[in-house]
Amino acid sequence: MKAVNPYLNFPGNAEEAFNHYKSIFGGEFQMLMRYKDIPQGVEMDGCVDMQGKATPKDEENYIMHIALMVGNSVLMASDVPAAMGGVNFGNSVTLSVSVESREEADRVFAGLSEGGNPQMPMDDMFWGAYYGMLTDKFGINWMVSYDANYQ
């Protein structure tokens, strides 16, 4: 197996979220496609079923697919148009970021926490890691961890 990469769904703000993540993690978008770029007449079974209709004007600039390299992983996402039923946020998925220093952990945690909800501030944990948890301003759950034993 080559990799398991997270794919996030957003309610119309994927581009804003990914510009925020890019400001924290660096890098460039590997791909950015909008729903308005889908050629007319293309059917995508199991994906967007517009039933022959054009993308609604207010969803034309929605992100169909965006990808950002983060270390050796690819963070990917799309906006979910109304035709697909919208987005349901919950606590069943948390993204875990492993960093290379305490300073990087503090920087990443601060950036992701901006406008969000830090649930567990960065601190030394009994298992040896420097660790924190938060939900960002886009509703995505994150864990940030630095563990000198895994460097």
Number of structural domains in the chain: 2
The predicted structure's pLDDT at residue 82: 83
Where does a domain end: 52, 83, 114? 83
pLDDT surpasses 80 at 54: no
Q: What is the CATH number of the domain that holds 13?
A: 3.10.180.10
Taking a C-beta distance cutoff of 8 angstroms, is the pair 99, 105 a contact?
yes
53 within a domain of the structure (yes/no): yes
Q: How far apart are CA 95 and CA 80, in angstroms?
A: 19
Whether 47 and 12 map to the same domain: the answer is yes
Tell me, what's the pLDDT at 84?
Answer: 79
Widest distance between CA atoms in the chain: 57
Kindly state the average pLDDT of the residues 48-69.
81
DSSP class of residue 38? S
What is the per-residue pLDDT for 55? 74
Q: Are residues 14 and 76 in the same domain?
A: yes
Residues 38 and 78 in one domain: yes
* pLDDT value of position 1: 67
Instruction: Provide the residue range defining the domain that includes 53.
Output: 7-83
Residue type, 77: A
| Residues 12 and 79 occupy one common structural domain | yes
Same domain? 48 vs 77: yes
Q: What are phi and psi of 113, to 5 degrees?
A: -75, -20
Residue percentage of the chain with pLDDT more than 90: 69
Instruction: Determine which helix (DSSP H) or strand (DSSP E) holds 20, and give its type and residue range.
Output: helix 14-25
User: Which class for 85: exposed (0-12), middle (13-18), buried (19 or more C-beta within 10 A)?
Assistant: exposed
72-84 per-position pLDDT tens digit: 999 999 999 887 7
**117 and 49 together in one domain:** no
Residue 42 confidence (pLDDT)? 66
Tell me how long the chain is.
Answer: 151
Whether 28 maps to a domain, the answer reads yes
Domain membership flag for residue 72: yes
Of 6 and 35, the structure prediction assigns the larger pLDDT to 6
As a whole number, mean pLDDT of residues 53-60 equals 80
pLDDT score at 141: 97
In single-letter form, the type of residue at position 10 comes to: F
* Cα–Cα distance for residue pair 50/106, rounded to 1 Å: 44
Q: What is the pLDDT of residues 23-53, one digit of tens each?
A: 999 999 999 999 888 777 666 555 555 555 6
| Same-domain pairing of 76 and 108 | no
Asked, for residue 151, whether it belongs to a domain, the answer is: no
Is residue 88 in some structural domain? no
| Burial class of residue 113, CB neighbours in 10 A (0-12, 13-18, 19+) | buried
